[in-house]
Amino acid sequence: MNTLRRNFAVFAAFLILLLPSCSGGRPAATVASVADVEGRIIGVLSDTAAELYASGHGEVRPYDSADAMTGDLRAGVIDCALIDEAAAEAAVKRARGVRALSEPFIDAEFCVVAAKQAKDLTQDVNSALKTLKSDGTLKALVGKYTLGEEYSYAPRADIPASAGTLRLAVREGDFAPYCRYDGGGGVAGLDIDVARAVCDLLGVNLEITPIPSSELVNAVWAGKADFAMGGMYKTPEREELVDFSNPYTTCTLIVLTRK
C-alpha cells in the first residue's frame, strides 16, 4: 500500500510539472485593457507611428519584425505590443496565444492642413481626395503602405514649372508608414504619395520640406508652407489656427496581449 501511495504521489507531481509544458509555458497576461498599458513593457515596430505614440506610456522595445515582437510577447519578455490595425490581424493569425484588444489604443483621422485664408486650396484638396477615393488610388496607396500590397504610384511628368508649385511641410524623421526618409536622402511614405497624387490632379508641382512635427501647424499659419501632413488630426487648438481637409486615412493602433 505504501508503495502504491508513493507511486501515486510521484505520478501526481509529474502531472503538475507537465501541465505548464502542455499549455506552452506562457506567463499570464498582464494587459487586459488599454488602461493597463501604462507603465508596461511595450513592443513596437521600429520607426513607425506606434513607436512615437507608445513613448511616455511605458518602456518601449522596438522590433524589426512583427513575428519577433509577438514571439517575445508570448514568452513574457514584453507585456504587450502596439501595432497598426491593418497588420494586427495578420500578426494574431501567425502567433498562437496572442490576441488583440477590441478597444484601440489610438484611432485618429489624419487630414491635410492649410491656412484659413486659403479656403480655395482646402476645397481643391477635398475635391482631389474625393477623386482619389472614387478611382481606387487612395485605397491602393493605403494598402501599399499598411499591408505591403503591390502598388506603385506613377506621378505626372508633364506638369511645367510655369504651372506653379505647392509647398508641403511634412513631419521630420521616421513616422512610417506615413512619412520617413528613404535611402536616397529624400522622403517617402503614404503622405508623400497622397500629396503627389493631389498635386497631379490640381496640375501643380510639389515641393517637400521635412520639419519638426511641433512646427507643422505654425509653418502653415505663418505662410512658410501651403499645406502640411504628418499625423495631422483635429484638435480645438489646431482648428483655431488652420483648416482641415476631409480625412485621407485613419491611424488605428491596436494593443496585442497574451491570451
Residue 173's pLDDT band (cuts 50, 70, 90) = confident
φ/ψ (deg, to 5) at 195: -65, -40
Other Cβ atoms less than 10 A from the Cβ of 210: the count is 18
Summarised one tens digit per residue, pLDDT across range 131-146 is 999 999 999 999 999 8
Q: Which pLDDT value is given to residue 1?
A: 53
Other Cβ atoms less than 10 A from the Cβ of 24: the count is 11
Residue 98 C-alpha cell reads as: 496572442
Percentage of the chain modeled with pLDDT above 70: 90
Q: Which pLDDT value is given to residue 2?
A: 55
pLDDT at residue 59 is higher than 80: yes
Q: Which pLDDT value is given to residue 17?
A: 41
Percentage of the chain modeled with pLDDT above 90: 81
What domains can be seen in the chain, in order of their start residue? 27-107 (3.40.190.10), 112-232 (3.40.190)
Summarised one tens digit per residue, pLDDT across range 5-55 is 555 444 444 444 444 444 456 789 999 999 999 999 999 999 889 998 999
Q: Which pLDDT value is given to residue 207?
A: 98
pLDDT higher at 18 or 121: 121
Q: Which pLDDT value is given to residue 47?
A: 86
Q: What is the mean pLDDT of residues 198-205?
A: 98
Distances (CA, A) of 68 to 59, 78, 122, 160, 187: 17, 11, 42, 47, 27
pLDDT higher at 161 or 4: 161
Q: Which pLDDT value is given to residue 18?
A: 43
pLDDT at residue 4 is higher than 70: no
Residue 211 C-alpha cell reads as: 520639419
Q: Which pLDDT value is given to residue 12?
A: 47
The full 3-state SS of 75-120, as one line of letters, equals HCCCCEEEEEHHHHHHHHHHCCCEEECCCCCEEEEECCEEECCCHH
Q: What is the mean pLDDT of residues 100-111?
A: 96
The enclosing H or E element of 256 equals strand 249-258
Q: What is the mean pLDDT of residues 111-127?
A: 97
Q: Which pLDDT value is given to residue 160?
A: 97
Q: What is the mean pLDDT of residues 55-75?
A: 96
256 touches 99 (CB < 8 A): yes
Considering the chain, what is the average pLDDT of its residues? 90
